[in-house]
Structure 1
Amino acid sequence: LILFQENQLTVVAQCSGNKPCDLEKIAVADCATIPVSVIRSVERTQETLVFDDAVSEPSFSTDPYIQHHQTRSLLCMPILQQRQLIGILYLENNLSTGVFTRDRLQVLKLLVAQAAISLENARFCEQLKDYTKTLERKVEAQAQALKQEIAERQQTEAALRQSEANYRNLLQTANSVIIRYDPQGRIHYINDYGVKLLGYEEHQILGRTLFETIIPDIEISGRDVKPMVHDLLRNPQAYPQGEGENLCRDGRRVWMAWSNQAIFNGQGEVVEILSVGNDTTQRRQAEEALQRSEAKFRNIFANSQVGIYRTRINDGLILDANQRFADLFGFDSPQEMIGIEHTTGYWVNLSDRQQGIEVMKRDGEVRSYEAQMRKRDGTVFWGLFSSYLNAADDYIEGVLADISDRKQAEVALQDSEAELRSLFSAIPDPLCIINAEGRLLCTIKGTSSYGEECTGKTLHQLFAKEQADEFLDYIQQSVRTQQVLTVEYSDWIAGREVWFSARIAPIRHEQVIWLARDITLQKQAEAASILEERNRMAREIHDTLAQAFTGILAQVGAANQVLTDDVEATQAHLDLIKELARTGLTEARRSVVALRPQLLEEGSLQSALHRLVTQIRAAANDTTLYYEVKGTAYTLSTEVESNLLRIGQEALTNAIRHAHADEIRVELVYDRNQFCLRVKDNGQGFGVGSIPSSKGFGLLGMSERAERIGAQLTIRSQPGQGTEMIVTIDRE
């Protein structure tokens, strides 16, 4: 508790646990047992600070007290009286987070409001006592002066008048309602505080009766207080104190605690009644809130779906329990157990109870403690305890839940996990689970690159940076799109290159299953097939084009020999050369057609790109593709269309695979003298000049193809601003 004393905040009381309160007064700046920065913040803002976990609160992360003591739940509340800060209440709990709930905070606010009134009343009483002592000393001095010298009477009278003025001023400024009225209830005097509290102007209440102003016809509770007030006016000595509702001018009702004193004349008759009242509305509201809170928690206790209990430490005698606790042990009601049954007879293994008590003696509490219990009929069930020990009062208090179903589910889950592991063990391919950060969580079947000993490591610890980055990109793409990816990669194992085809499937908690299959033999077969096809083409070219060109050369030599001698023979040779040349050209065209892209076999560049966009649109569900043709389409040469198709295909692949674009636009523009292919995406973009050569094969291939057909390639891109690729070529 911190109060303003001598114009500074002073700690006047400190309490912790069951220890006696320390009432030593310490200035806040010199106190090492509170977070000074929090106190100063509340002093400055006059607003309540509540932290569920103070050590994690960034605003006060540098406070040495909070960091040293690892403060958890924290409450710092200003104590205000008429909007003036008179003190601060500081509470903390270093055991649990979120202690100061909304309901508790409301109750504390009501209690602090009542405390503010009590502190102010105590201060007023202390001032009144001091003033009374001072007044008594003055009266004594004045009496002595009267006895000694009658001439000083005027001075004494002046002092008395000043004293009366001071007394009146004290009454006027007091934080209590002071009212004086006659035996008929007519009000003769009311101080300023009373006028403000009740909402009257002084002339609106003086001369009127209590019944016309502040006494309601009937209280909200239904009690009629008028008979009691009439009896008070007749016999004030019988009502030295009382409490009731009073009516304000605007219709509000306030609860007041009154102290009444009769004023008699010289004949002993009651001429006036002096009443001093304190506003207890907030206290009453706090009491009602406490009653509602108690009723609510009592209802929660009675109807909770977990067993709540209190037992004696030494023998386990049940001191209190709710209905659910009785149900767990097979009793019809808690009354059959409270004060009768001992829990020691319901533990399957009594040593479990003793072990739990030892933990509570050491730590003060035990959480999520599992043990087997026995019902009244002998049925065994699994219980989950959370309890704390109060050694001073010799009891254990806690909650108990039946977790038998959960334990059965755990056994079933373990059996299921064993079955799944057996199933996965039968899979010949490497299988592991990786999270979105690239950490290997579980290896069901590994390779030399990632076995069970690699669990917990990251991809960057297992692979080279470039390959780890590529793998991490695949994983994050699968997690983001929630789609299965299939990728191929190679790894050097035992001195040889091994190729894998990996299926990356997203699962819960931003994790993926990585299933890799060795496709080295398949890759070798493909390479052998490609080599065989190249050899076949070489033989075919040798047997067709080479033979034709060899024949042409021979005929040219023969023609040279007979050119001047035999015109007819020369013409025959020239005709044969022409035929051989046509045959070679036909074979050359047939070879080119055999190597032509499949998409171009069934139509023009326009239709081939349209089919390509359609295929990608069907595969990339999270990407929107737009395809547009401007102008009247015309046919370009086979080589030009083939290279343009490959350039467009590479641009689309880059937008999907590397730029992670969700919108791509493909545009073909057929102008009269020029053709233009444009592919634009809204992906992550890149610095055109910042791509290393090791990662720029696609861009290099596009540039070489454009140069091969005499086209101009333009690439525009910036990080975060997407990419635009434009190819223009003159129409032949």
Structure 2
Amino acid sequence: MAVDTTKPKNTGKFETLFDSFYESATAQWLKEKITLILDVGLILTAILMLATDAVIFYFHFIFLLLTVGAFYWQIRAFTIRAVIWVSAVSAMLLISVVVGEVPIDEMTEIPMMAAILVLVFIIGRRRAIAENALRVANEELESRVASRTHQLTTVNADLTVEVARRRETESILRESEERYRRLVELSFEAVAIHSNGKIVDLNSAGVKMLGAASTDDIIGKPILDFVHPDYVNLVQTRVGEQVDSDQGVPLIEEKFLRLDGSEVSVEVAAVPITLEGQPAIQTVIRDITARKQAETEREILLATEREQRLLAETLGDVFLALAAQTSHETVLDEILRQARRLVSFSAANIVLLKGEKLIIARHQGYMTFDSRRTMANLEQSLVDLPLDREAVETRQPVVIPDTRDNTNWVITPELNWIRSFIALPICLGDRVLGLLRLDSNVPGKFSEKDVNRLQSLVNAAAIALENTRLYDQARQEIAERIQVERALRRSAANNQAILNAITDSIFHLRRDGRLLDYKIQEENQSEWARKVTGGSKTLQEIFPPDLVGLILNFMDVALSSKVRQIFEYRLKVDKNTRNLEFRLVPTGDNEVLALLADITDYKAGQAALEKERARIARDLHDSLGQSMGYLRLKLDQYSMEGAAVDSETLRQELVHMRDVANESYEIVRSMLAAARPSNSNALHAVLLAQARSVGSRARFKVELNSEGQARALPPVVQQQVLFICQEALNNIEKHAAAEMVNIDLIWQPRALTIKMVDDGHGFRTDVAVEQGHFGLTIMQERATEINGRLTINSAPGRGTELVLEIPVAPVVVPPVDA
């Protein structure tokens, strides 16, 4: 019987199992090392992401490490790491976006990279499942080998199954790689791999970005053929850094060239890899042309917005500046000043429309072109200026880029330098106030853009000009109103002064006797005056019934006839009888003004006047009448025919007759002096004229001084004062031989003192006065008649001082209404 010693078959299986176990242990150890390396790599990459400016690059690198880790970590370990690192790098990227280091568009990559990571994890998970199944199978196989070595056939069958499973796993891995490749192919970003300077792989996004029909148009060509010449040196430097350091380079902006030669703006990040045993570089390229265009448009919009904001701020200043002006001239100056802020020009002017004429109002800048004299008094007709007429009629701006190309431009020698022109109507509603005209010596200087800028100015100018017109009108109206008010105040003050000057009491009465208003002199302390000031409101409460009846009857007559009524009434007041005069003046249909005058003193004055007239008549009869009778008899005696008189007797009689005539003359002169109309004038004026008249005859100087508040004297009193002073002046003329006479009027509240001092010879006051002339006795009598006191101080060689003191009524100053 032959013995089968062929053991090699089983021995080979055990060796295979041992090799498999060894490879499994080695793979496990290697896997642990790789996971450790990946963890360390993640930490270092995070540190670099924080410490450097290449945030995007290290952001992508962390996702790359997580993608690699998906093939080595268990699901729990991978999930923890993915959540931690994705959250961390997202937060760091968000911070970089906030501080402005990274554009906000980069935030869109987070969900995309997370999606890729999930897909990679799914692939890695399935691979892990396959590996785990393989490991379970290996463990199972090892257990069976250890415990059931005698079942080699079963083991072989299991090994066969395991081999089949491993092949299935490898198929799964190939499918996973294919899915990964498809994922890259479907990426929105261009992904290219180049080795030794040539492109070896490119996804469809890259083909589209470079404007190729397929990868055949790209693969095999030098990478630098697609780099913009301005960036070739930079790309070569970055490739060299990756080859030397075996590390990726950060994200950077570059420009690529498409196949048709057009430029495309890109962001590029690259990492070195190994492809089929050869070093290569995998490059992720993002087309940012749209973003660049958006940024360019955004810059244009920002510039436009800044320009518009500046224009708005300028116009705001324009409105404020124009609104702050209140005069027509300053508004015109401000319009030209603000126009220069908005538009550059050589010269400018403002013309105002008056009918069919344009009148120059303001101009500036024409001195430079020797045109100032032309513009100073410029007055133009719209008929002669087609362009200005067009602006006025259409109320639309007119822009002439080049005046020499416009047939409607009116050429004048003084303004031939104008090459471009713009005219804007200043409109207020449908009314054209004038034109704002800008001139430039440069053709093509003005455009519609300038019109848009100036339109707001002319609108504000129209409002400002109208405001100044209204302001001037209001100011004129206010001035007229102030004048009227002043006139009314003066009239009221005059009326009040007239009322205050009227010594009568005034009542404003209604037909039924109701007292509406009144004015009572302060010095009037009679019983009826006290009743009025005490609050009585009707005539019945103030006057006796019979007087009230008279007043009401005369009031009815005055109101009916519209004619002033006057009547007198004797009223017993405080145990005295006073003569009252009532004057009733109608002021309306049912109202009258009643002027109540106390004429008791007037009546007494009239009586005194009659008495004085009687006295004068008596004096004329007793003195002048006798003298005239004597002279008549003498003249009749010597004028008779046949009268024989010797010459000496005739001479003596004539001398005596002359003395009688002189005496009569003096009597008449004194009477005339007391009765002349000047006696009613102010005392100091009449007295000064009287003294100067005498002084001119007697050749002495007169000086009159008045102290205090002068006031009118009663006519009788003033007549007597003038008689006394006239007699004193006559005495100075006849006897004193004076050179200077000083007269002082001293007005006190209740008295008047008159001092008359001369520097003449003087006399003894105790010597009797010469008979036949006005003397000191007559002067004393006249002073007594007016309740005065006359004192005369004199001595020979020391001149004479005459002092006359008389009582006067106090001054009452009524309040003046404000």
Question: TM (normalized to structure 2)?
Answer: 0.25
Query: Structure 1-normalised TM-score?
Result: 0.28
- Judging by fraction of residues, say which structure has more strand: 1
